[in-house]
Amino acid sequence: MSRLITDTLIVAERNLVRLTRAPDLLLAFTVQPIMFVLLFVYVFGGAILVPDFYGSYVMFLLPGIIVQNIAFGGFVTALGLNEDLSKGLIDRFRSLPMARAAVLAGRTLSDVVTNTLSVLVLLVTGLIIGFSFDASPFEVLAGFALLLLFGYAFSWIFALLGLVVTSPEAANSLGFIAVFPLTFISSAFVPVESMPAALQWFAEINPFTLVVDAMRHLWVGAPAGNAVWGAVVWSLVIIAVFAPLAVSRYRRAAGH
Amino acid sequence: MTQARTHVSAEPELAIRVRGLRKSFGDVVALDGVDLDVPPGTVLGLLGPNGAGKTTAVRVMATLLRPDAGEISVAGLDVVREAAAVRERIGLAGQYAAIDENLTGLENLVMVGRLYGASRAAATARGHELLQRFDLVDAAGRPAKTYSGGMRRRLDLAAALVAKPPVLFLDEPTTGLDPRSRLDLWTTIEELVGEGRTVLLTTQYLDEADRLADTIAVIDHGRVIAQGTPDELKDRVGGERLEVRLSSAGQAADAVRALAAISDEPPHCEGDTVTVGVRRRNGMIVEAVRRLDDAGVGVDDIALRRPTLDDVFLSLTGHAAESTDDGDEQKERT
Ligand SMILES: Nc1ncnc2c1ncn2[C@@H]1O[C@H](COP(=O)(O)OP(=O)(O)OP(=O)(O)O)[C@@H](O)[C@H]1O
Ligand SMILES: [Mg+2]
């Protein structure tokens, strides 16, 4: 067990070092989300009616866009695993007496670090353009924890994606095709009530809506029923389903 | 040329022992009953064309792939049942250099060392040692993506040596290198064997197997079709080849008749080129030209050359070495 932990940390460290060597990836974590927040707030913001409770669009949007952003954080895992596989690094790892699960665990763990970074970047941007917490410090922290948990769950989905597809480009487009509609047909950007009936139905059962509602509850005090617990359960279910799938796919992708 | 070491013990345990190894991928039979013996401290060269099954065999022996059937032991341990223990004792340099391009040379080696269980300090010390040995000190702090093909290969080999493994697997270690880097790598491999390591290397080049291996196993379509010392094998191939390019392909039959007398084996004819194995060098070209001239055969070009893998296949199987891969495009290296 301690071997698993050290090996996981070694792999995670390696992933993070690489990030600093590929500054374009770092841009994806910082500049790109900022750009999206600004575009949404200043281009669409005036046209989107949000419940009076929020007072302004940025109060409504920020928790939503942070959730969307964190779901995409796992892309690094998909691209990285795919590259390691095609470059033969996975073979090297597997010929070493290291813990088997460490390659995937290290990958998803390094996503937690990059996700933390992009949440902070978005939050600071939001605070500058008018977002403010309406929550106790405990709720703020709980919101952070929920975001990271949900991001971690998505990293496992992306891990599976990265192992299944044949090229990084394919991972990219498949990931976008899957995640974009999921995040847009949710309460993240516009109130669900403003959508046509069929989309409303989908948005209401969409786990993104649950997580976004939970974040709004924790950070700006919006009423949310059981959304927080629902979001936690969803995240755990995703991990329980996708982590074993990714691990077994890793075994097979690597030759067994 | 490395000499097979004689062992004091009556029955030295084999470093690698393979019996009846089979592996299929769907319908493709990659290995169809392979047997190999490699005594400790010796080099086995696994020689074969594209798609022969070399990489598959290496991957099975290095615990990366589960065999469908067969008994395979490495360093006295079963590669399936005792895979974890086998991994402690092997180093693998795969067909494609497996290095992290975004890490520096040193970082690559330190990472591998730590994954073997060494402390960061110990892994760093070992990393410096290996960089020195593989002439990479100047590039130690540069991301590996800036390395040349030869440097990548050396770094990859260094990574395989981090834990000082007694058994090394090198899958086509010199494919894609320029002649100079190739010679350098040969010297390095000879040094490694000099330290008492057992090496199994795969190659598509007879001269490479000739220079490095104590024993050569020729593999084709997943089977070992010949096994022996380089000399035994070359005897079977018949030394050097005389290659004659005719002025007109129509005279091939006459040329074959004219040259039959200078060799023990029948000349081989392909298009306007006739090839024949010859035992001695001296005067051979003169004699061939005289015989061809007597027979009235016009010659464009005539030369002696060393036997290649193609010649080995020709004499062993009667057909040229052919790729069994679906696509015959040259695979990209490193
Ligand atoms: N993962 C795989 N899935 C399907 N077929 C495979 C797989 N790996 C190898 N093969 C097939 O098995 C056969 C042997 O392949 P292998 O890679 O072992 O050959 P090789 O001797 O290493 O060739 P090369 O000189 O091109 O590296 C080939 O026909 C190849 O297409
Ligand atoms: Mg190969």
What confidence score (pLDDT) does residue A50 get? 84
- B206 Cβ neighbours under 8 A, 6+ residues apart: B47, B306, B307, B308, B309, B311, B312
| Between B332 and B234, the higher pLDDT residue | B234
What confidence score (pLDDT) does residue B1 get? 43
Average the pLDDT over B196-221 and give the result: 91
- Contact list in B for residue A17 (CB cut-off 8 A) is 102-103, 107
From the list A25, A129, A124, the residue with the least C-alpha distance to A72 is A25
Rg of chain B over all Cα atoms, to the nearest angstrom: 23
What confidence score (pLDDT) does residue A109 get? 94
Average the pLDDT over A10-20 and give the result: 91
C-alpha–C-alpha distance, residues B149 and B102, integer Å = 15
Stated pTM of the model: 0.82
C-alpha–C-alpha distance, residues B193 and A216, integer Å = 66
> Closest residue (by CA) to atom 14 of ligand 1?
B53
- Tokens representing B252 are 């091939």
- Tokens representing B282 are 């001296």
Tens digits of per-residue pLDDT, B198-208? 999 999 888 88
C-alpha–C-alpha distance, residues A17 and A217, integer Å = 36
- A19 Cβ neighbours under 8 A, 6+ residues apart: A25, A26, A76, A110, A114
Residue B2, domain member (yes or no): no
Residue B326, domain member (yes or no): no
- Tokens representing B17 are 């022992």
What confidence score (pLDDT) does residue B309 get? 66
Residue B6, domain member (yes or no): no
Tens digits of per-residue pLDDT, A121-150? 999 999 999 899 998 999 999 999 999 999
The three-point CA angle B98-B25-B321 to 5° equals 80
- Decide if A251 touches B, using CB distance below 8 A: no
Q: Which residue, B196, B230, B264, sits at the end of a domain?
A: B230
The residue assigned the tokens 């060799």 is B263
Rounded to the nearest 10 degrees, the angle between the axes of helix A137-164 and helix A102-128 is: 130
Domain match, B222 and B249 both: no
Average the pLDDT over A225-242 and give the result: 92
CATH of the domain at B296: 3.30.70.980
Q: Which residue, B230, B252, B287, sits at the end of a domain?
A: B230
Residue B89, domain member (yes or no): yes
What confidence score (pLDDT) does residue B210 get? 86
Domain match, B221 and B243 both: no
- Cβ of A18 within 8 Å of Cβ of B103? The answer is yes
**Of A3, A92, A98, Cβ closest to residue B98:** A92
Domain match, B171 and B302 both: no
**Of A6, A91, A255, Cβ closest to residue B98:** A91
- Contact list in B for residue A10 (CB cut-off 8 A) is 111, 114-115
Sheet containing strand B28-38, strands side by side: B28-38, B16-25, B69-74, B77-78
What confidence score (pLDDT) does residue B6 get? 45
What confidence score (pLDDT) does residue B162 get? 94
Ligand 1 pocket member B325 (CB < 6 A): yes
Domain match, B162 and B296 both: no
Average the pLDDT over B294-302 and give the result: 89
What confidence score (pLDDT) does residue B324 get? 55
- Tokens representing B43 are 């080099």
Chain centroid to CA B10: 30
Ligand 1 pocket member B52 (CB < 6 A): yes
Question: Closest ligand 1 atom, CA of B54?
Answer: 21
Domain match, B190 and B299 both: no
A with B: how many residue pairs have Cβ under 8 Å apart?
A: 71
- A57 Cβ neighbours under 8 A, 6+ residues apart: A40, A41, A44, A45, A46, A48, A50
For residue B237, pLDDT over 60 is answered with yes
State which of A95-104, B105-114, B269-278 shows the largest mean pLDDT.
B105-114
Burial of A177 (0-12, 13-18, 19+ CB in 10 A): exposed
Domain match, B208 and B270 both: no
Q: What is the mean pLDDT of chain B?
A: 86
C-alpha–C-alpha distance, residues A45 and A158, integer Å = 31
Q: How far is A94 from chain B (nearest CA, A)?
A: 7
Distances (CA, A) of B232 to A113, B229, B280, B316: 60, 5, 17, 13
CATH of the domain at B52: 3.40.50.300
**Of B66, B87, B159, Cβ closest to residue A256:** B66
Tens digits of per-residue pLDDT, A26-45? 787 788 889 989 998 898 88
- Tokens representing A36 are 């999206």
- Tokens representing B298 are 């016009």
- Cβ of A91 within 8 Å of Cβ of B159? The answer is no
C-alpha–C-alpha distance, residues B279 and B241, integer Å = 9
Domain match, B268 and B211 both: no
| Between B267 and A7, the higher pLDDT residue | A7
What confidence score (pLDDT) does residue B325 get? 52
Residue B324, domain member (yes or no): no
Domain match, B301 and B241 both: yes
Domain match, B43 and B190 both: yes
Tens digits of per-residue pLDDT, B71-93? 999 999 999 999 999 999 999 99
Domain match, B226 and B240 both: no
- Tokens representing A112 are 């937690």
Tens digits of per-residue pLDDT, B35-73? 999 999 999 999 988 889 999 999 999 999 999 999 999
Residue B323, domain member (yes or no): no
What confidence score (pLDDT) does residue B331 get? 41
Burial of A68 (0-12, 13-18, 19+ CB in 10 A): buried
Confidence bin at B334 (pLDDT 50/70/90): very low
What confidence score (pLDDT) does residue B8 get? 44
For residue B327, pLDDT over 80 is answered with no
Answer whether A46's CB lies under 8 Å from A74's CB: no
Tens digits of per-residue pLDDT, B4-34? 444 444 446 899 999 999 999 999 999 999 9
Residue B225, domain member (yes or no): yes
Tens digits of per-residue pLDDT, A168-205? 888 888 888 888 888 889 988 888 888 999 999 998 88
Residue B194, domain member (yes or no): yes
- Residue B81: CB atoms within 10 A of its CB come to 10
For residue B326, pLDDT over 80 is answered with no
For residue A9, pLDDT over 60 is answered with yes
Tally of structural domains, chain B: 2
Please give the distance, rounded to the nearest whole angstrom, from the Cα atom of residue B66 to the centre of ligand 1. Answer: 15
The three-point CA angle B126-B175-B234 to 5° equals 110
Structural domain that includes position B112: 16-230
C-alpha–C-alpha distance, residues B99 and B109, integer Å = 9
Q: Which residue, B198, B230, B262, sits at the end of a domain?
A: B230
Domain match, B279 and B201 both: no
What confidence score (pLDDT) does residue A111 get? 92
Domain match, B126 and B197 both: yes
What confidence score (pLDDT) does residue B178 get? 84
Tens digits of per-residue pLDDT, B111-164? 999 999 999 999 999 999 999 988 899 999 999 999 998 899 999 999 999 999
